[in-house]
């Protein structure tokens, strides 16, 4: 795999009203979120990708998490049908940008009653693991796998019990290496991979991203950072603490393809 492009969207001031399961962390501070986003873009550029930066959409507080309204594969793009009402319209906002990169016959859609969030999709080569979550339902997964199979790719369902999205707790680093935390440590789906176990007190650190041989790791998770470095990867550290306050992390903040 080699990524050439990344799409991100600037956070708006409305980010502080984003959906959260952890109100005790407080609301994101907009100015800090912007600085963290700047650093994120810089880190991506260091990994050799061209970064398309979309403007903030104040009417959608969670719209900087561009990973959820679309999934991009090497064969084509799938516009999802995000499972949270306040986020569903993000799919129409991202589609024109996706179409700049893909011909019409390479852009597919998940449609109601199917729902799917891209955060529930983990690419491992030509196979895609899909978390069945509060956001992604059985019909969404069925449609998604049907589209993949039409392209000669494959997919499989992973039921989730605890986390918001699949990639909240498991992330593939290429080369057979997988970062796993919590409920994913023992799932049979991932038995064949070289699993790097993320300790419970660093669970948020499981959300790292591999970009062309470098792994971007969130700031403040030293066990994860060392484990990734011990695998031989170059690393870059980016602070995503403002996004964490609304359940967001490194992977959610971009589409990489
Ligand atoms: C949400 O609840 O949808 C946002 N506050 C966080 C989305 C995180 N996205 C992701 O894990 N892919």
ipTM field: 0.98
**pLDDT attached to residue 61:** 98
Q: Whose CA is nearest to atom 8 of ligand 1?
A: 248
Low-confidence ranges of the chain (pLDDT < 50): none
Q: Is 37 a catalytic residue?
A: no
Residue whose CB lies within 8 A of the most ligand 1 atoms, among 8, 60, 165, for a mutation test: 165
CA gap 29, 26 in Å, rounded: 9
**pLDDT attached to residue 194:** 98
225 C-alpha to center of ligand 1: Å?
Answer: 23
CA gap 142, 127 in Å, rounded: 15
User: Which is the closest atom of ligand 1 to the Cα of 19?
Assistant: 5
Q: Are strands 70-72 and 77-79 parallel, antiparallel or unpaired?
A: antiparallel
236 C-alpha to center of ligand 1: Å?
Answer: 22
Q: Is 165 a catalytic residue?
A: yes
User: Which is the closest atom of ligand 1 to the Cα of 67?
Assistant: 12
Single out the catalytic residue among 16, 47, 165, 208.
165
User: Which is the closest atom of ligand 1 to the Cα of 207?
Assistant: 11
**pLDDT attached to residue 1:** 82
- Ligand 1, residues at Cβ distance < 6 Å: 18-19, 62, 65, 67-68, 84, 87, 119, 164-165, 167-168, 246-248, 252
75 C-alpha to center of ligand 1: Å?
Answer: 25
CA gap 151, 108 in Å, rounded: 11
User: Which is the closest atom of ligand 1 to the Cα of 18?
Assistant: 5
Among candidates 103, 108, 167, which has minimal Cα distance to 135?
167
Q: Whose CA is nearest to atom 1 of ligand 1?
A: 19
84 C-alpha to center of ligand 1: Å?
Answer: 10
């Amino acid at each position: 795999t080699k990524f050439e492009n990344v799409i991100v969207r600037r956070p708006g001031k409305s980010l502080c009203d984003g959906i959260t399961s952890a109100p005790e962390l407080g609301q994101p501070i907009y100015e800090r979120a912007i600085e963290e986003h700047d650093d994120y873009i810089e880190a991506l550029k260091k990994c050799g990708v061209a970064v398309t930066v979309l403007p903030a959409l104040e009417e959608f507080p969670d719209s900087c998490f561009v990973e959820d309204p679309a999934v991009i594969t090497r064969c084509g793009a799938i516009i999802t049908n995000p499972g949270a009402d306040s986020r569903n319209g993000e799919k129409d906002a991202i589609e024109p940008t996706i179409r700049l990169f893909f011909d019409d016959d390479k852009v597919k859609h998940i449609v109601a009653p199917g729902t799917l969030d891209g955060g529930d999709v983990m690419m491992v080569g030509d196979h895609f693991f899909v978390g069945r979550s509060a956001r992604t339902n059985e019909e969404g997964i069925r449609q998604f796998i049907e589209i993949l199979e039409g392209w000669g790719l494959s997919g499989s369902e992973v039921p989730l019990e605890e986390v918001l999205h699949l990639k909240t707790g498991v992330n593939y680093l290429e080369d057979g290496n997988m970062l796993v935390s919590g409920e994913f440590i023992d799932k049979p789906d991932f038995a064949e991979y070289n699993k790097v176990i993320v300790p419970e007190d660093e669970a948020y650190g499981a959300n790292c991203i591999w970009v062309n041989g470098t792994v971007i790791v969130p700031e403040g998770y030293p066990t994860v950072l060392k484990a990734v470095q011990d695998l031989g990867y170059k690393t870059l550290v980016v602070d995503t603490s403002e996004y964490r306050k609304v359940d967001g992390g490194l992977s959610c903040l971009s589409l990489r393809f």
